[in-house]
Amino acid sequence: MAESLLFYCRPGFEREVAQEITAASSRIDVTGFVKAKPGSGYVVYQAHEPKRGEDLARHLDFSELVFPRQLLRDAVLVGDLPAGDRITPIVAAARERGTRFNGLQVEMPDTNEGKALSTLTRPLMPHLEKAFATAGLVFDHPRSPDRLHVFFIGGTACYVAVSAIDNSSPWPMGIPRLRMPRGAPSRSTLKLAEAILVFLGPEEAEKRLQPGMTAVDLGASPGGWTWQLVQRHMRVLAVDNGPLDTALLDSGQVKHRREDGLRFQPPEPVDWMVCDMVEQPSHVAELAARWIREGWCRETIFNLKLPMKKRWEEVQACRERIDAALGGVEARLRVRQLYHDREEVTAHLAVEKPARS
């Protein structure tokens, strides 16, 4: 069986996913081809040699990928589904991938066309689940390392594929569904909320964003990112020449400095720096690295606004700038295009803890 990899992404960023996966495959000498229709919301990679495709699937670290929202392997296109019986071919393809899984996700691309497919998949679900059960497929096996996906790309076609629980997104369609919180001064608050969820996870966030910790928010106005930190009972120095939400100032946890975030230097080190400024990505990348290098913070989350063209190249250039600007300080950098991002990516840079002797 030919090994295909399937990636979900933000519509319009198929080219960037293709570039990223092609670069990853070349690093381990895997050759293949990419199928990426602009605006489709997904990308397929087919290795020329099936076994080498398996090698690429094992080599890819989902947590280090930038543009893909989901990573699936062993993907097969089930096309020409008969209107009278869409179920049987899907079940057959699923059985070829195993009978014991730890989850089932029926999905579609994050496009207007994909959203319209929900009118098909919703009534199909109970029949599909019944047919899976009859065929002996189990989706709550606690020791299974895999999850099964049925990804509809049209009314008569879908991909059936598998994801590794420990090397994929846990959320359907790779999208964490976050509600706009009441009281937050702007929708940008969801970007930081998602970044914390993706880069840290709930347990690590509790440890690394504790009440009483200190943070600086560069480019804070009107306070969407500051609001997230205040909700965690942190003390925040909000830096921006623009106004800040009055409720944040009234909280007693926030001080406002009307200064340029690119030039600001903290009076003393803080635990965190966050930054969502509309600036050249190279400037923000070097700024974040400088904060880590100078010891002004130990962790930072920041956004990089990408150009309309050569977006993958810009991310790579920013990685190089950060590495050079760190001046030898050991720090881990992760970059991801979040669901709540648009023409941008979000990055997390943290000082590596020294190994115990």
Four-point Cα dihedral 120, 126, 128, 131, nearest 10: -150
- Contact between 305 and 315 under an 8 Å Cβ cutoff? The reply is no
Choice among 35, 207, 255, 305 that is catalytic: 305
What's the rounded Cα separation, in Å, for the pair 63 and 73? Answer: 16
Q: Which two tokens stand for residue 156?
A: 């008569």
**305 included as an active-site residue:** yes
118-123, long-range: CB within 8 Å, 24+ apart, which pairs? 120/152, 120/155, 121/152
In this structure, which amino acid lies at residue 238?
A
Chain-centroid distance, C-alpha 134: 35
How are beta strands 70-78 and 157-164 bridged, if at all?
antiparallel
- Give every strand in the sheet of 344-351, ordered side by side: 254-257, 235-239, 214-218, 272-275, 299-305, 344-351, 331-336
Which residues, 6 or more positions from 354, have their beta carbon under 8 angstroms from its beta carbon? none
Which residues, 6 or more positions from 217, have their beta carbon under 8 angstroms from its beta carbon? 223, 225, 226, 229, 236, 237, 238, 239, 240, 273, 274, 275
The residues annotated as belonging to the active site are: 305
